[in-house]
Chains A and B, each alone.
Chain A
Amino acid sequence: MSFFKWSRNGERTKVIRYGEPTYNGGIYVDNPVEEFEIWASVQPLSNADRDLVQAELNLNRYAEGVRIYSDVPLLADDDKKRIRGDTIIVEGESYKVFTLASWQHLNLRHYRHIAMRES
């Protein structure tokens, strides 16, 4: 059973996962293959997260984003591995997962993600 189910701020969060990219006439075709829900703790970005977002994603510090803790790893956007990051739905808005950090050394093993709002 997920710890996040019992945590005070745990909530069900919808996740959309995409398949291998396909192209039709040179145009990318969206290919969602799976939708599921996870228990997660959704929190605001910290200042350190905003530094990361600014440096790595070239976004401004005030771009809307969330930090998500869960015991399920989400797929983070990866150019090299050609992975389109999972989309999570928080309060009706779509956020794309950009980073994944694994916290497996603790008794309470979990994953931390940063997701930024999709346009």
Chain B
Amino acid sequence: MIFKKTIDKIDEGLQSWLESIVPYTVVKSGQNTVRPKPPFVSYKMITGMIKLGSFDELYVNKTDNLYHLKGQRQFTVLFEATGTPTDGTLASIVRATDIIGEIQFALNKPNTTSFFLGLDLAIQEENEITDITELLETEYEPRATLSIIFRTAIDEEVDPGTIETVLISGDVDTTFDGNYNLPIDEFSVSKP
């Protein structure tokens, strides 16, 4: 279950990264349940792990059969912020675009880069902040989104098994007439 393991690790990482940036509730979106009290931030992967290039096969060492199958993957994460409308004062407004702006700004901080490095994540592309304010029942609710394209590598240790013996029986014609003649009666391979 390499994908589940990788994506769970990314989710946990994004959660703690967002919690360190914004002073609001952070949730994984699409949970089909009650949402938190605004303002809050949600995030979700809006693509699967897109395969880039082909796999690398790297052996652990020459004596061991194990090898690592490594491949690059790309995916997009959508961050969505929900703000709160005014209750009559400018100070009471929490703009969703401001929250998303904080997230985008934090992408360029050195500690973010090192944090993502620890998660094997590289930021590939940042898209625009979009205001998607919507009507919720009777009032407009400030919302904004930002999608970021990340790249990562998946790595799984694979044991292909070994061929221990190869049995070939038959007569070898030792008279050389210009062609090698190796009639084989039996060819069998056994695995450990």
Contact = CB atoms under 8 A, between A and B. Distances in A.
Interface string B11-35: 1100100000000011110010111
A80 B136 contact: yes
Interface residues of B, number: 15
Contact of B15 (A26, A79, A82): A26
Interface residues of A, number: 12
B15 A25 contact: yes
A28 B15 contact: no
Interface in A9-50: 18, 21, 23, 25-28
A80 B34 CA distance: 10
B26 A79 contact: no
Contacts of B36: 21, 23, 82
B137 A23 contact: no
A31 B47 CA distance: 31
Contacts of B136: 79-80
Nearest to B43: A26
B138 to A, nearest CB: 8
A82 B34 contact: yes
B191 interface: no
Contacts of A18: 34
B4 interface: no
Contact of A21 (B26, B28, B34): B34
A79 B138 CA distance: 12
A80 B28 CA distance: 19
B38 to A, nearest CB: 9
A83 interface: yes
A54 B15 CA distance: 35
Interface of A: 18, 21, 23, 25-28, 79-80, 82-84
Given A25-B12, A82-B36, A82-B37, 9 more contacts: A21-B36, A23-B36, A26-B15, A26-B27, A27-B31, A28-B31, A80-B137, A83-B34, A84-B34
19 contacts: A18-B34, A21-B33, A21-B36, A23-B36, A25-B12, A26-B26, A26-B28, A27-B28, A27-B31, A28-B27, A28-B31, A28-B34, A79-B35, A80-B136, A80-B137, A82-B36, A82-B37, A84-B33, A84-B34
